[in-house]
Structure 1
Amino acid sequence: MSDQPTLAEFAVEQSESDEQTEMLDPNASNETVTMTADKQVATYLIEDQMADLTDAIREAVQNGIDSPNSTRVLVSVSPERSIIVDDGAGVDLESTEGKRNLSVLGAGTKQRADDETIGEWGIGKGAIIAKGAVRIWSHSRALHFDYRDQRTTGPWADSSGREGNVVETEHSLGGVLVEIDHYEGEVPDPESYRWHRYVRDLRKRFAYVHSQTDVDVIINGESAARGDPREAISETSGPSITRETDDAVIALEHTSHEGLEIYSNGLYVTTSREYGVSGVVVSKGNLTLNFARNDIQSGCDRWERIEQTLEETRDELYDEVPDDRLDDESREVMVEQMFSGSSSTDWTNRSLFQLANESRISLTRIQAAPEIGWIESAEKGADKLVERGYVVLDTSDPATKRLREYTDRDDADLELPSSFDVGERAEAEGVWTGYNCIDDESQLNADQRRYLLFARVLATELGIDREIYYGEASADAWTDGRTYIAITDSAVSSRQREVWMHDLYLVLLHEAAHETASTDQPSHGHHFESTYRSLVEDPANREAFANLVQQVVAGGFESVFQEYDVESS
């Protein structure tokens, strides 16, 4: 009889009770400790190991793929129930082994070193019974579970919690059929966009299973197979590259925003954006995955070999991309590779680093400069210095930030020229670095005009009796403390309407809290903080802002501007 815990009873019996355990010899140099488990572990394995119903369906489909002689797995998903059926050899539920494989957590025919099968009814069966009342039917027997005890009639009437029951069926079924009668709340609203995304994401999980196993997974009448992984980038207009080794098929393209999809033996695992490219990696054989099967465990030998090939292939791809087409993520990855010493490619002459005027420069040119300056964000005068031939590096750019961080390390072996203070140099060169209100507002672009007019309306609604101007400065805004407030481009953090309107709300209240000029080392002491906090938390101000936003949503900006009779000069 197996000593593995069943779904009806998950506990490892200790050979002796606590009362019978002998005292350890205090003079002994070695101790023996036995790992045990209790029913709380069962609850975790059943209820907490998987995120949603798609994980349970994945477990059932995997076992269908692994079934001997299986050629296809049919999946039917509706808001009420999911049915997964394969055409494999099935499970003998009349035998002790067959019942054990479907009722013992961890039991199954798969061994850890098995490089062929994907599932094989191991721990994953716990995820299946957590998501609905379940029927597992093969040949002339069916096993039923109702883990939450929510079904009082039909085949689940005699099932409750981890107690399942096996019944004879009227008909014999080849293969295995898994029916999950969904518990409430396990699927999205079928009328919502989330439902369509739900089915689409389910297909994605099995996109390359057929390419590795020759088993076709068909979901709601449509095959999930995407064909050869190398075709994933066949229609890309930019640089791309493919590689095939004994461990994997790799297809990469230079568009980092979509990320790199990783598949274990054709089964989707995760999307990684740390490589600075898009595409797919499909392993030949299983990767060692974590418990939830949504990431790769450290120490996976196959993945270590794949990753080495992946990084070499990615570096080859970068060599095909012109400097002016490298995106921010790619440049950041290239810089990290340079300083880690893990890249065999010399990128010191590639224009990877950003100057204050948003142009780019190579490490070779940086090192050749007599001296360099650093800024962390837009600083007036810095771009003018670049125009005059100075090297002023902008660390708000990710790749350039990595350069600064590396050179600040104690163990850095990179020599850079000495640094100068950008503000002092700009002043010495006669480059403007102060605060400037824009007199001719016709110079403003459409976005700037909208920010300015909204800020004027908002100031009226908030009772801020100061003129509102648009200006140029390194600060988000400034005020003379009495008559005016000037806002700048950096006052808004996003072009999304709801975000920048709230940005301006906070900026105006911040400047309104200043009772003296905020241009020269403004005071942000206790009095200012108290005043600013009271303005932000004032219910009248909150209501005024909310009402104005509703007016914009209902009628648009121009309608509101006309109503308040504001316009740019």
Structure 2
Amino acid sequence: MSQEQRTLTMHPKLLLDVIQRQAGTLEKAVLEGVMNAIEARANTVKISLKEKGNKALLSIVDDGRGITTREEVELFFEQFGTPHEESENKIWAQFRMGRGQLFAFGKNIWRTGPFKMTVDVKNKGLDWLLEKNTRSKGCKIEVELYQNPIGYNYPSIASFKERIQELVRFVSIPVLFDGEQLNNDPKELEWTCKDKNAYYLFGVGEELKVYNLGVYVHSIPSYRSGVSGIVVSKKQLKVNFARNDVHSDCPIWIDMNKVIIKNRKKTRQQRRSLDKSERLSTLIDLRDGVEDYDEVKNIGLVHDVNGRVVTLEKIRKHKGAWTFAKHGDIIADKLMQQGQALCFDEKLPESLGFTGNPGRLFYWLANAFASDWDLEKNWSHLEGCFKPFKELRKQFNSSYSILTSQNLTTTEKRILAILNKMPCWKGREIHIGLSMTAAGWTDGASYIVIERSFLDGLYLNSSVGVGALFALLSHEMAHDINTAGSHTHGEEFFRNFHDMIMSVESGDWRSESPMAWMSSFEYQIKRSRIEDRRINERDKKEKQQAKADKKLGIAAKVK
């Protein structure tokens, strides 16, 4: 067979899959419409979402140049992936695929110039309808959504608006949602600093938010970035296909990152006290050899189990026992109170990417900044001082105490309130207490106590965690004697436990078995947590937004 030059092709189904599967969220699809409008030289973009019964209609309207010729329809609407030309006003566009996200969420009707285009990929696939339209300026997109997102993906239209606002917060032209402007031109705001590449605002929020020419890309945890705040690029960043990450080889981002690093070093020099994420980022910088040990050696960087911080200099000079334990562990706290050992948070090795012998952690860390002589003289002894926590805790005797309401956390109070409303305890009141040896205990008649650290270790958003809690409570219910100090299991106990477990009638309010109330507890605890989280998240966002607005000068501008 003679040679034959051929070209690779794509099956139509692959294009349909790309259209349907590239869509992540509805607000990201709306963002594509906003970016297209700005690139079409629009002066304003108007967004609206209206509900009618169980249906919803999304509209995006702009006053840009629109599509004016049939050739443009074929090249830029019908065909995906048409390469961009230098003469085009392209700001973000790279792949000419974004409109597919709008197609994925509902039946699209586009009115632009002399054309009306209707796309319904769910019912018509890649076939679409082109019609004549009364000539109109700009572009009007209406999307009859396949599913009403309100109450499903978004609690309310207001929450949908807030999600869009986060994405378009710093674009250069007004973006309106039902008449309310969502964004601010970064040129008119006040920043910590700015240069040819970007605007920078540091010290707000809990992460570093990155915007590509005003459009949100992603948030970097502050323990990685070393700072919190907002950065808005003035030039196009090199982002991935989903536009939710910046390529590490992007030259603009490399220069921007130098400013970020310079700011976090400046922060460390100006403040002797750092927040948790700044401490971790400093340790990571030491590990990576980009931070000077002498500059940070006397700043508290390492968390103990109670959340207090210890300097690396104190650790270097420490000659006694030390260990890792769970955050908040009672026995670890006792060890430190009595001066028997330093007890660090057990998550530290993992946070630094260390997987070796835990006793060598600080020697391993110091290897990045210390000389060979310094390593052996000042850091090597720490491995011999390390003691496994299990070994250190053996020395403690049993003790039992019940915590008063004043000493309970909000979460603990919530758990007790839900438990004590249940009719299955036969007159016993549920409490939370402290013990170094028992997960729970009872006096056999009037109360049951759950040990705090045991409770803290349960993941009550899962059936496994709830099951473990109710297994403990059922176990203590089966005791008719005081189990504080002794925990024997006689014939009476096993009979009571057997009868309790076997009498489960789930959902029956008359059931005397605690196990019958597991699903009710799980539902109530999730519901209360969701509500608390919603309120806390709302309050936190409002405070962070107010702080950012104040720094940016938005509040003063509104006045």
Q: TM-score, normalised by structure 1?
A: 0.69
Cα offset, 1:300, TM superposition:
2.2
Q: 1:493 to 1:205 in 2, by over 3 A?
A: same
User: What is the aligned counterpart of 2:37 among 44, 48, 64?
Assistant: 64
Structure of greater Rg = 1
- Deviation sequence 1:318-374 (CA, Å, 0-9, x none): 433442xx3322222221122121235731211112335543210011101223411
Partner amino acid for 2:303?
A: Q
Give the counterpart letter for 2:385 in structure 1: S
> Structure 1 residue 83 and structure 2 residue 64: aligned?
no
- Determine the C-alpha separation between the residues in 1 that align with 2:503 and 2:352: 39
1:42-53 maps to which residues of 2 (within 5 A)? 42-53=15-26
State whether structure 2 residue 287 is matched by structure 1 residue 339: yes
Q: Supply the distance in 2 between the matched residues of 1:389 and 1:404 (Cα, whole angstroms).
A: 27
Contact 2:108 2:118 in 1 (8 A): yes
- Residue type at the aligned position of 2:132: E
Q: 1:205 is matched with which residue?
A: 167
Deviation at 1:64, TM superposition (A): 1.2
User: What's the % identity of the aligned pairs?
Assistant: 19
Find the aligned partners of 1:550 and 1:130 in 2 and give their Cα distance. Answer: 34
Matched, 1:99 2:74: yes
Q: Distance in 2 between matches of 1:139 and 1:443?
A: 69
Tell me whether 1:139 sits opposite 2:113 in the alignment. yes
Query: Could you say what secondary structure the match of 2:246 adopts?
Result: coil
CA distance in 1, matches of 2:393, 2:523: 44
Q: What is aligned with 2:209? A: 261
Native 8 Å contact 1:262 1:281 kept in 2: yes
Give 1:40 shift. 2.9
Find the aligned partners of 1:43 and 1:341 in 2 and give their Cα distance. 48
What's the Cα RMSD here?
A: 4.9
User: Are 1:40 and 2:9 matched, yes or no?
Assistant: no
Q: Give the match for residue 352 of structure 1.
A: 301
SS in structure 2 of the partner of residue 434 of structure 1: coil
2:318 matches 1:369: yes
**In structure 1, how many angstroms separate the alpha carbons of the residues matched to 2:431 and 2:149?**
52
Q: 1:545 to 1:89 in 2, by over 3 A?
A: closer
Show structure 1 runs of 5+ residues with no match.
1-19, 24-31, 150-159, 235-240, 554-569
Q: Match for residue 455 of structure 2?
A: 492
Contact 1:385 1:392 in 2 (8 A): yes
Q: Which amino acid aligns with 1:219?
A: F
Q: 1:476 Cα shift?
A: 6.1
* Distance in 2 between residues matched to 1:550 and 1:126, nearest whole Å: 39
Q: Contact between 1:255 and 1:277, CA under 8 Å: does it hold in 2?
A: no
Taking structure 1 as reference, are residues 458 and 512 closer, same or farther at Cα in structure 2, changes over 3 Å only? farther
Residue 221 of structure 1 aligns with which residue?
Answer: 179
Letter in 1 for 2:46: L
Q: Secondary structure at the match of 1:302?
A: helix
Choose the corresponding residue for 2:131, options 167, 187, 191.
Answer: 167
**1:372–1:243 Cα change, 3 Å:** farther
Distance in 1 between the 2:34 and 2:418 partners?
57
Decide whether aligned partners of structure 1 residues 61 and 228 sit closer, same or farther in structure 2, where only a CA change above 3 A counts: closer
Residue equivalent to 1:270: 218
Structure 2 distance, partners of 1:137, 1:551, is: 49
Secondary structure at the aligned position of 1:461 is classed as coil
Q: What does residue 312 of structure 1 align with? A: 262
Query: How many Å apart are 1:89 and its aligned residue?
Result: 2.6
1:265 offset after TM fit, Å? 0.8
1:208 is displaced (CA, Å) by 0.8
Cα 1:34–1:548 change in 2 (3 A) is closer
Q: Which amino acid aligns with 1:109?
A: H
Q: Secondary structure at the match of 1:196?
A: helix
Is contact 2:209-2:230 (8 Å) kept? yes
Secondary structure in structure 1 of the residue aligned to 2:249:
coil
1:180 is displaced (CA, Å) by 2.4
Deviations 1:409-466 (A, max 9, x none): 6965162523253676688xxxx72220228x76973569969977996999368x99
Q: Is the 8 A contact 1:277 1:330 kept in 2?
A: yes
Question: What does 1:532-543 correspond to in 2, within 5 Å?
Answer: 540-543=513-516
Count of aligned pairs: 482
- Cα deviation, residue 543, structure 1: 1.6
In the alignment, residue 265 of structure 1 is paired with which amino acid? L
SS at match of 2:396: coil
Once the two structures are superposed, residues 444-495 of structure 1 have per-residue CA deviations (whole angstroms, 9 ceiling, x without a partner) of 73569969977996999368x9998865334561569999975322132289
Contact 1:478–1:519 (8 Å) recurs in 2: no
Partner of 1:195: 157
Report if the CA contact (8 A) 1:136-1:143 is conserved.
yes
Tell me if the contact between 1:188 and 1:194 (Cα under 8 Å) persists in the aligned partners.
Answer: yes
* Aligned counterparts of 1:145 and 1:451: Cα–Cα separation in 2: 51
1:362–1:35 CA distance, 2 compared to 1 (3 A): farther
| 1:508 is the counterpart of 2:469 | no
CA deviations 1:121-175 (Å, max 9, x no partner) are 81112222222222333322222323233xxxxxxxxxx43222332223x222x
Q: For the residues of structure 2 that align with 1:426 and 1:471, how far apart are their CA atoms?
A: 19
Structure 1 or 2: more helix by fraction: 2
Map 1:95-134 to 2 at 5 A.
96-107=71-82, 109-110=84-85, 116-119=90-93, 122-134=96-108
Tell me the secondary structure at the aligned position of residue 77 of structure 1. Answer: strand
Confirm or deny: 8 A CA contact 1:137 1:177 kept in the other structure. yes
* Counterpart-to-counterpart distance in 2, 1:456 and 1:82: 45
1: CA distance, partners of 2:341 / 2:12:
65
Note closer, same or farther for the CA distance 1:37–1:388 as it changes in structure 2 (3 Å cut): same
Q: Spell out, residue by residue over 1:252-293, the C-alpha distance to the aligned partner (whole angstroms, 9 max, x if none).
A: 11542xx22211111111222242543211111221222222
1:60 to partner: Cα distance? 2.0
Amino acid at match of 1:107: T
Whole-angstrom CA distance in 1 between matches of 2:352 and 2:175: 44
1:104 shift after superposition: 0.2
Cα separation, 1, equivalents of 2:141 and 2:414: 56
Matched with 1:156 is none
CA distance in 1, matches of 2:296, 2:125: 61
CA distance in 2, matches of 1:398, 1:184: 47
Q: Secondary structure at the match of 2:192?
A: strand
Rate the CA distance shift 1:293–1:114 in 2: closer, same or farther, 3 A.
farther
Tell me: CA distance 1:380–1:285, structure 2 relative to 1, closer, same or farther (3 Å): closer
Spell out, residue by residue over 1:1-56, the C-alpha distance to the aligned partner (whole angstroms, 9 max, x if none).
xxxxxxxxxxxxxxxxxxx8979xxxxxxxx9975422232122211101233233
Q: CA–CA distance in 2 between the matches of 1:536 and 1:393?
A: 44
Distance 1:227 1:420, change over 3 A: same
What are the Cα deviations for residues 212-270 of structure 1, in whole angstroms up to 9, with x where unaligned?
A: xxx33223212222243895xx7xxxxxx8232222112111542xx222111111112
SS in 2 for 1:40: helix
User: Which residue type is aligned with residue 34 of structure 2?
Assistant: V
Q: Which runs of 5+ in 2 are unaligned?
A: 368-374, 506-512, 527-559
- Say whether the 8 Å CA contact 2:440–2:472 is kept in structure 1: no
Q: Compute the displacement of 1:59 (Å).
A: 1.7
Higher mean Cα deviation, 280-289 or 445-454?
A: 445-454
